[in-house]
Amino acid sequence: MTANELRTMYVNFFKERGHKEIASASLLPENDSTVLFTTAGMHPLIPYLLGEKHPGGKRLTDVQKCIRTEDIDEVGDDIHCTFFEMLGNWSLGDYFKQKSISMSFEFLTNYLQIPAERLAVTVFEGDELVPPDVEAEEIWKNIGLTSDQIYRYGREDNWWGPAGQTGPCGPDTEIFYDMGKSKCGPKCGPSCHCGKYVEIWNNVFMQYNKEADGTFTELKQKNVDTGMGLERVLTILNGKNNVYDTDLFLPIMQKVEEILEREGRVLSEKDKRIICEHTRTITFILGDPMKISPSNTEQGYILRRLIRRIIRLFKKADINTNYLCELSDVIIQQYKTTYPELGDNKEFILEQLQKEYTLFSKTLNDGLKKANRYLDNIGHCGVLSGELAFKLYDTYGFPIEFSSELASERGYRVDMDGFHKKFEEHQNKSRQGAAGKFAGGLADNNEKTARLHTATHLLNGALRRVLGDEVSQRGSNITSERLRFDFSFGRKVTKEELTQVEAIVNEAIAHNISVTSEEMTPEKAYGEGAVGVFSGKYGEIVKVYTVPGYSKEICGGPHAKNTGELVSFKILKEEASSAGVRRIKAVIDDQ
């Protein structure tokens, strides 16, 4: 089965069962400060999981582009990917456990022809606060699974949320494919990481609300949020041992082999996989409608890290030609039909890759000079400390192999134990940060963030009035304390212009204008002058929020009811975010 066949089969299955197909949202979550990238299909649907009415109705399905950064260092094994596609279906207060589990089982066994005996599932075992999910367990038994195929686990394995201290949460049931091999003996279960069980689908049941006192109450609107990994399922369906043997990776793997043959060089299988996986990821980040560029912060930092890792691996094989653009074009050609934004943004993608290669080449040269300086000062000990070796790696992108070779040429060595200790500390910090980000999604949705969301609309409208229509949103980030708004503009905004912008927003606030919401087609919205990076994620109908005279935007919400709730608006800072993109940080006083 091909990836396109699986995508089509999945979406059609749920459309035939009353679900509305919605398009994949941007890889950059809209106004969500808790995550760097869209890590699951639920992120674009946050307002609707919290009770907002979705234009597509109560049943939705899609194929969502996702990026997870906590496993970057695992890439190169059989299953871990930084970029992946999540097949999802949702019930927003419609069906619940019985129908969700039944449909999942039907799709896996009847449509994908996976033998029921190769499946294993997990359910929440319960604790002192919430009873066991007996309902889900009984549904699985009634469907036809045996008791030996059903495992009970605690919160660490089978509970989702809340994202913050309070909010929606609930048990989940995870579906695993039994690969038939075990290194752990007969007691091996899905919670084991030996490779016998591979998770393929997760059905989350948002059943409870965690209160401030730590108790759990039943939600009025119970939601279902499911996600199935395209790459993993495709691997299983095709009888492969790893994702790189599927049609998702074969074209780019062939291109890497062609380059190595052309150069007369060799790389390990893991290194080739990393190059392929990271090329796919960077192409999708650069090709996103928000047009993220490599930088030293947030999404731009992850992008830069991945690009430079590819370059380092080629240099490790003594390949000094820039093949980034040639490789990226393979991904663009392969995916542009499914994700047209890659074709639309091809020029930007290739331009940024060329710039980053040139910049990193200079950085590596600087690292070489720094490395030689460190080695000049080693003295009689003959050992380059792990701390300095890691500094070369972290600050200059200087591969540890390079440092080791340079030291060896002088008869020195690198303290590899010290380097790996520093590297592990760095990994732990990164994972903790990523875990904190990934846990988010619903944490900061409250009245304050809704008002700040409205403030970003007013800010966007004011910027376009003062600076002209060349201004377009390139990203926003909202916390409970402030808003951050990125927009396209080729120069620094003057103090006088910022004063004008601030005054326009405060004028709108002073007039206490009602914020209205309408549903219409994208064509009608644009025809009426609405702005917004519309990616199709709301389907054929979009929501348009209007502050008459000041703002009209395509958006999913949530928002203030009227502008007066914002009380006042103040710009704290205006600065460059990346080439051609400016950033404004601002606050409101809604007390």
Q: 270 and 405 share a domain?
A: no
Q: 226 and 360 share a domain?
A: no
The better pLDDT of the pair 298, 141 is held by 141
Identify the band that residue 533 occupies on the pLDDT scale cut at 50, 70 and 90.
low
Cα–Cα distance for residue pair 224/302, rounded to 1 Å: 31
The alpha-carbon radius of gyration of the chain (Å, integer) is: 26
Q: 208 and 224 share a domain?
A: yes
Q: 359 and 382 share a domain?
A: no
Burial track 416-441 (b if 16+ CB lie within 10 A, e otherwise): bebbeebbeeeeeebbeebeebbbbb
Q: Is residue 195 part of a domain?
A: yes
Extract long-range pairs of 108-115: CB within 8 Å, 24+ residues apart.
108/175, 108/200, 108/201, 111/9, 111/13, 112/9, 112/233, 112/237, 114/177, 114/236, 114/237
The better pLDDT of the pair 393, 255 is held by 255
Q: What mean pLDDT value characterizes the chain?
A: 89
Cα–Cα distance for residue pair 400/415, rounded to 1 Å: 11
Question: Which segment of 134-148, 422-436, 505-519 scores lowest on mean pLDDT?
Answer: 422-436
Cα–Cα distance for residue pair 137/65, rounded to 1 Å: 31
Q: Is residue 369 part of a domain?
A: no
Percent of the chain with pLDDT over 90: 59
Q: Which of 354, 485, 526 is nearest to 28 (CA)?
A: 485
Q: Is residue 106 part of a domain?
A: yes
Cα–Cα distance for residue pair 545/532, rounded to 1 Å: 11
Task: Pick out the residues of the known binding site.
Answer: 453, 457, 555, 559
pLDDT tens, residue by residue, 436-458: 443 434 445 678 888 999 999 99
- Read off the amino acid at residue 343: G
Q: Compute the average pLDDT of residues 412-440.
A: 71
Identify the band that residue 433 occupies on the pLDDT scale cut at 50, 70 and 90.
low
pLDDT tens, residue by residue, 209-236: 888 888 999 988 899 999 999 999 999 9
Cα–Cα distance for residue pair 155/135, rounded to 1 Å: 17
- Confidence at residue 32, expressed as pLDDT on a 0 to 100 scale: 64
- Confidence at residue 537, expressed as pLDDT on a 0 to 100 scale: 46
Extract long-range pairs of 329-337: CB within 8 Å, 24+ residues apart.
330/251, 330/252, 330/255, 330/279, 331/252, 331/279, 331/280, 331/283, 331/284, 332/283, 332/287, 334/251, 334/252, 335/283, 335/284
- Confidence at residue 438, expressed as pLDDT on a 0 to 100 scale: 39
- Confidence at residue 91, expressed as pLDDT on a 0 to 100 scale: 97
Q: Where are the alpha helices (DSSP H) in 439-480?
A: 447-467
Question: DSSP of 302-361, one letter per residue?
Answer: HHHHHHHHHHHHHHHTT--S--HHHHHHHHHHHHTTTSTHHHHTHHHHHHHHHHHHHHHH
Cα–Cα distance for residue pair 77/64, rounded to 1 Å: 23
- Name the domain count of the chain: 4
Question: What is the side-by-side strand order in the sheet with 569-578?
Answer: 473-478, 483-488, 581-588, 569-578
Task: Pick out the residues of the known binding site for Zn(2+).
Answer: 453, 457, 555, 559
**Boundary (domain end) residue, out of 442, 467, 492:** 442
Q: 79 and 224 share a domain?
A: yes
Q: 402 and 283 share a domain?
A: no
- Confidence at residue 8, expressed as pLDDT on a 0 to 100 scale: 97
Q: Is the pTM of this model over 0.85?
A: no
Nearest 10 degrees: CA dihedral of 99, 102, 107, 109?
A: 180
Instruction: Give the chain's count of helices (H) and strands (E).
Output: 18, 18
Q: Is residue 371 part of a domain?
A: no
Signed CA dihedral, 135, 139, 140, 146: sign only = positive
- Confidence at residue 425, expressed as pLDDT on a 0 to 100 scale: 84
Q: Is residue 347 part of a domain?
A: yes
**Boundary (domain end) residue, out of 329, 364, 399:** 364
pLDDT tens, residue by residue, 534-557: 555 445 788 899 999 999 998 877
- Confidence at residue 275, expressed as pLDDT on a 0 to 100 scale: 97
Q: Is residue 372 part of a domain?
A: no
Identify the band that residue 31 occupies on the pLDDT scale cut at 50, 70 and 90.
low
Identify the band that residue 430 occupies on the pLDDT scale cut at 50, 70 and 90.
low
- Confidence at residue 260, expressed as pLDDT on a 0 to 100 scale: 97
Residue pair 346/297 in contact (Cβ under 8 Å)? The answer is no
Q: 134 and 202 share a domain?
A: yes
Q: Is residue 29 part of a domain?
A: yes
Owning domain of residue 566? 447-588
β-bridge partners, 119: 177
pLDDT of 387 strictly over 80 = yes
β-bridge partners, 60: 20, 90
Q: Does the bond joining 171 to the residue before it have cis omega, within 30 degrees of 0? A: no
Q: 210 and 281 share a domain?
A: no
Residue pair 434/69 in contact (Cβ under 8 Å)? The answer is yes
pLDDT tens, residue by residue, 162-207: 766 777 899 999 999 998 877 777 778 898 878 889 999 999 999 9
Q: 213 and 75 share a domain?
A: yes
- Confidence at residue 11, expressed as pLDDT on a 0 to 100 scale: 97
Cα–Cα distance for residue pair 133/131, rounded to 1 Å: 6
In which element (H, E) is residue 406 found?
Answer: helix 400-409
**SS3 category, 520:** strand
Looking up residue 502, the CATH number of its domain turns out to be: 3.30.980.10
Residue pair 155/127 in contact (Cβ under 8 Å)? The answer is yes
Q: 426 and 455 share a domain?
A: no
Looking up residue 137, the CATH number of its domain turns out to be: 3.30.930.10
pLDDT tens, residue by residue, 59-80: 999 999 999 988 787 888 888 8
Q: Is residue 51 part of a domain?
A: yes
Give the Cβ contact number of residue 560 at 10 Å.
24
Q: 100 and 39 share a domain?
A: yes
Question: Which segment of 309-313, 423-427, 471-475, 517-521 scores lowest on mean pLDDT?
Answer: 423-427
- Confidence at residue 112, expressed as pLDDT on a 0 to 100 scale: 97
**Boundary (domain end) residue, out of 337, 364, 391:** 364
Identify the band that residue 476 occupies on the pLDDT scale cut at 50, 70 and 90.
confident
Cα–Cα distance for residue pair 235/186, rounded to 1 Å: 25
Q: 286 and 172 share a domain?
A: no
